[in-house]
Amino acid sequence: MTTDWKSVRLFPIPSVIYLIHNNVQFATLMYVDTSTYQIMGNLKIVTTGILFRLFLKKKLSNLQWMAIVLLAVGTTTSQVKGCGEASCDSLFSAPIQGYMLGILSACLSALAGVYTEFLMKKNNDSLYWQNIQLYTFGSIFNMARLVVDDFRGGFEKGPWWQRLFNGYSITTWLVVLNLGSTGLLVSWLMKYADNIVKVYSTSMAMLLTMVLSVFLFSFKPTLQLFLGIIVCMMSLHMYFAPPHMLVDIPPAIKSDPESLVNVPVDRKTDS
């Protein structure tokens, strides 16, 4: 458990990034519809790969870059609705501010993830101690934001801590428990795997949710969903499979030592 201030002072940075990212997400929804928002959210797959390469100096092969792009295409394809289900005119017809905020949200999400991975792997501290530092600063900054909102509103609804659990139900607590557990699992991925594995797990979870919705909520599967799942599976195989399984690499031919011929070389010496 490193308690040196030089190490602890790094943890507020991702907390601030996540705070800004969460607020940018809400601002984005003010300009774009939910379908456009979901599709633009897939940009974080590509931005994560770019920042993963630039900041963590992790080299990716050409096949892996192609796999990351395919993953973004596959998840986007699965979310596109036909013209019969939603108005085609409403898709990508938002103001330019919405698209700019969507790109900013994708970049902030990738930056926060890559920086968190850097912190998790920076030393051999306990994962739970690192989580305590990360979420403590996150709680502090979010409480500060709530106080600022109270001052702006003139405390008309009272201080934030008096209405913190207003409207909570069993379902709400289950959602909180689910998100908390997900956060712990993501921290394990950051510590012992990397951001690309996290991106793939998130994308596959999204596709699994769509499939389960067919049975639980009578969701009608679409051609786009099946195509998206196929493309994502191809991407998964391309990224993690050994290169020799994807490309036909000719076997190295070993020369027979007995077939080697000694070639004499005349050496001239200057007198």
How far apart, in whole angstroms, are the C-alpha atoms of residue 158 and residue 25?
A: 26
Length of the chain: 271
Is 88 in contact with 18 (CB distance < 8 Å)? no
- At 205-247, the pLDDT tens digits run 877 887 788 788 877 778 888 888 888 888 988 888 887 777 7
Rounded to whole angstroms, the Cα distance separating 79 from 36 reads 9
Instruction: Provide the pLDDT for residue 56.
Output: 83
Predicted local distance difference test score (pLDDT) of residue 229: 84
Dihedral of CA atoms 6, 7, 10, 14 in degrees, nearest 10, equals -170
Please tell me the predicted confidence (pLDDT) of residue 261.
60
Tell me what pLDDT residue 268 has. 55
> How far is it, in rounded angstroms, from Cα 114 to Cα 224?
31
- Cβ-based neighbours of 66, under 8 Å, separated by 6 or more: 238
pTM of the model: 0.74
The CA-atom distances, in angstroms, between 67 and each of 39, 49, 267 are 18, 11, 55
Predicted local confidence at residue 250, as pLDDT: 65
- 265: its two tokens: 């070389």
How is residue 186 written in tokens? Answer: 């993501």
| Structure tokens given for 43 | 């940009």
Torsion angle of C-alpha atoms 172, 175, 179, 181, degrees rounded to 10: 110
Predicted confidence at residue 44, as pLDDT, reads 87
Encode pLDDT of 200-215 as tens digits.
888 888 778 877 887 8
Note the pLDDT of residue 271: 47
Residue 266: predicted pLDDT: 61
Report how far apart the first and last C-alpha atoms of the chain are (Å, whole number).
73
Residues of the chain with pLDDT under 70: 81-94, 248-271
